[in-house]
Amino acid sequence: MSDLSFLPETNWRCGKCGEKLTPRITNVEYLGNTFTMELLACEKCGLVLIPEDLARGRMFEVEQLLEDK
C-alpha cells in the first residue's frame, strides 16, 4: 500500500503554521485498520492534507466497507 500516492497539484501552505507542504508517507487509520499512503504534509508541524476528492471518494467508500454497511 505504500506505493499509493495522493498528491494534488497545489500551492497551498499549512493553515496552522504557514509552512510548505511536502510529500510524506502517512499511516491512515480507521476502525483498527491502517493504510499507508503518500500525502502532502506540513514540513514543520506535520499536519496532513487529505484532498477533498480522496475524502469524498475512496476514503468514504472504504469507511462504508469497514463499517460493514
Binding region for another protein (CB under 8 A): 1, 3-4, 33, 35, 37, 57-58, 61-62, 64-66, 68
Q: How far is CA 8 from CA 22, 33, 62, in A?
A: 11, 24, 20
Taking the complex as a whole, how short is the minimal distance between the CB of residue 14 and another protein, in angstroms? 25
Our CB check for another protein shows the closer of 47 and 62 to be: 62
Which helix or strand (DSSP H or E) is residue 37 part of? strand 33-42
Taking the complex as a whole, how short is the minimal distance between the CB of residue 28 and another protein, in angstroms? 9
Contact 42, 14 (CB under 8 A): yes
